[in-house]
Structure 1
Amino acid sequence: MHAMQYEITLPADYDMGIIRHRVESKGHLLDDFPGLGFKAYLMRERDRDGSPVNQYAPFYLWNTAEGMNSFLWGPGFQGLSHDFGRPEVQHWTVLAYEEGAATAAVPKAAVRRCQRIPAPTPLPELAAELAAEAARSVREDGAVSAMVAVDPRTWEAVHFSLWDHEAPAEAGDVFQVLHLSSPEREKLPRGRQW
């Protein structure tokens, strides 16, 4: 599995209703996209949930590299690039994915936390610890799902979780979930990925 996210930071006075409308009118286009576990259409608004910025920042969890590549080289991403400029796409390999007790709920919030991995850190122990953290997260009330992934180029871990309530009491960047496309979510392998 591959996790992917890009962030489009918008001016402080940007009308975020434009982003809401974009998702309302186009979000369904990936509801049947092959290879896509899920796409969470995420938005942050300045001065809400501690956000310093207005931002559109979708998060993807891909079952297949082919699906991810089809999206990146296809018309959807090209349309986004045309409208906002081509964003830098962050990409991580997934260490663990878990579903929570609220898995059937429509998520309302997402939390993303990034963690640098210092050079002397023993990687096998860290990987096991990160996988266990994802498993612990989904035992919390309102957890829809949680995953942890690593970018081995920068040695950064990303913790990502979906919630059925507004703002979970968890450290990290809090996003509103405007829509969830999840054509192959049931195919996402659970647990650790090594």
Structure 2
Amino acid sequence: MLTAHYLHRLPADYDLNAIRTRGKARGALWDAAPELYFKGFLLREAGKHGAIENSYSSLYLWRSDQAFADFLLADRYRNVTNSFGRAQIETRLVLDAHRGRAQQAQFVFEETTDIARDADLGQVFAAEVAQNKAAVTRPGIVAAVVSLDTLNWRVSRYLLAEHAQARPSDVAIAYEVVHLSQPLLHTLPEGQST
């Protein structure tokens, strides 16, 4: 499994309703995408939920690296580049992914943490997996994913939630979910309370 995430900064006067309309219209095209657990069409609006600028982004959870390659080979990214240009796509190896009991994601929260140079990687990974499994059992959580960037040695945690109160910390970046395509989300293991 891997995550892919890219972001486009938007001018302060950009019509964000156009992004909302685009996300809902294009989202339907992803609702049955093979090998895709979910794709979030995400928006940050300056002055809301801590955002200081407007941006539009997409977050994918792919079943395999080949599924992501197929997305690129099928030239589906062209729709993005034609409208917004080519963004850097951050891809990460998934350490753990579970679905929660909630159904309707309104927010995605992202936390990224550097791994200390002298940290015991096995302990770090085990702690991240345990934290992810605990997070997904909280009320209002649709899914929780933790992934690893081996180039920069950092972990990214993504929490898909029904409400803003689920924000895990003050440093978590909050995204409004314009549309969540979830063709295979139901096949992720469900988080279990211990």
TM over 0.5: yes
Match of 1:4 in 2: 4
Q: Tell me if structure 2 keeps the 8 A contact 1:149–1:159.
A: yes
Confirm or deny: 8 A CA contact 2:43 2:54 kept in the other structure: yes
For normalisation by structure 2, the TM-score amounts to 0.92
Question: Distance in 2 between the 1:80 and 1:138 partners?
Answer: 31
Distance 1:167-1:45 versus aligned 2 partners, 3 A rule? farther
Q: What is the CA-CA distance between 1:21 and the residue it aligns to? A: 1.2
Q: Does 1:45 align with 2:45?
A: yes
* CA distance, structure 1, for counterparts of residue 145 and residue 67 of structure 2: 19
Conserved 8 A contact 2:101-2:190:
no
- Post-superposition offset of 1:101: 2.6
- Output the CA distance in 2 between the equivalents of 1:74 and 1:82: 15
- Which one of the candidate residues 103, 110, 115 is aligned to 2:108? 110
**Residues 5 and 59 in structure 2, CA contact (< 8 A), matched pair in contact too:** yes
8 A Cα contact 1:146 1:159, kept in partner: yes
2:143 maps to what in 1? Answer: 145
Q: Match of 1:77? A: 77
Q: Per the alignment, do residues 16 and 167 of structure 1 end up closer, same or farther by CA in structure 2, a change over 3 Å counting?
A: farther
Distance in 2, Cα, partners of 1:140 & 1:187: 19
Give yes or no for the alignment of 1:27 onto 2:32: no
- Percent identity, aligned pairs only, is 30
After superposition, give the CA deviation of every residue in 1:1-33 in whole Å (9 maximum; x if it has no partner): 001100011111211111111112211111111
Shift in CA distance, 80/167, structure 1 to aligned 2, threshold 3 Å: farther
Distance in 2, matches of 1:144 and 1:84, equals 29
Unpaired runs of 5+ residues, structure 1, are none
Asked whether the equivalents of residues 63 and 187 of structure 1 are also in contact (C-alpha less than 8 Å), the reply is no
3-state secondary structure, aligned to 2:77 = helix
Aligned residue identity for 2:25: S
Q: How large is the Cα RMSD of the aligned pairs? A: 1.5
TM-score, length-normalised on structure 1? 0.92
How far residue 169 of structure 1 moved from its aligned partner, in angstroms, is: 3.4
CA apart distance, 1:167: 4.4
Contact 1:137 1:146 in 2 (8 A): yes
- Could you tell me how far apart the structure 2 residues matched to 1:101 and 1:190 are? 8
Q: Is the 1:35–1:65 contact (alpha carbons within 8 Å) kept by the matching residues of 2?
A: no
State the Cα deviation string for residues 76-108 of structure 1 (Å, max 9, x = none): 211111111110000100001122232xx1111
8 Å contact kept, 2:28–2:181 = yes
Q: For 2:141 and 2:34, locate their aligned partners in 1 and report how far apart those are by CA, in whole Å.
A: 26
Partner SS state of residue 133, structure 1: helix
Secondary structure of the 1:7 match is strand
Equivalent residues of 2:100, 2:190 under 8 A apart: no
CA distance in structure 1 between the partners assigned to 2:58 and 2:106 by the alignment: 14
Partner of 1:89: 89
